[in-house]
Amino acid sequence: MKKYIFLATIFAVLTSCAQQKKKSDVALKTEPQSYKIEEAVKDLSNPWGMTWLPDGSMLITEKDGRLIHFKNDKKTEIANVPKVYNSGQGGLLDIELHPNYKENGWIYMTYASEEGGGNGGHTALMRCKLESNSLTNIETLYKATPNTTAGQHFGSRIEFDNEGFVYFSIGERGEREVNPQDITRDGGKIYRLNDDGSIPTDNPFYNEPNAKKAIYTYGNRNPQGMAKHPETGKIWMHEHGPKGGDEINIVKKGANYGWVTVTYGINYSGTKITDEKIKEGIEPPVYYWVPSIAPCGMAFVTGNKYPQWEGKLLVGSLKFSYVELLTLQGDKVTNREKIAQDIGRVRNVKMGPDGLIYIAVEGQGIFRLIPE
Residues β-bridged to residue 50: 60
Return the SS3 of 345.
coil
Q: Is residue 50 within 8 Å of residue 59, measured between CB atoms?
A: yes
Strands 92-97, 189-193: pairing is unpaired
Q: Is residue 256 within 8 Å of residue 281, measured between CB atoms?
A: yes
Q: What is the CA radius of gyration of the chain?
A: 20
* Strand (E) or helix (H) holding 122: strand 122-131
> Any idea how long the chain is?
372
For residue 344, give the nearest of 358, 363, 325 by alpha carbon: 363
Identify the DSSP state of 187: S
Q: For this structure, is 153 an active site residue?
A: yes
List 69, 122, 153, 238, catalytic entry:
153
Identify the DSSP state of 104: H
C-alpha pair distances (Å), 246 with each of 37, 238, 315, 317, 343 = 27, 7, 11, 11, 21
Distance of CA 175 to the CA centre of its chain: 18
Return the SS3 of 356.
coil
Catalytic residue set: 153
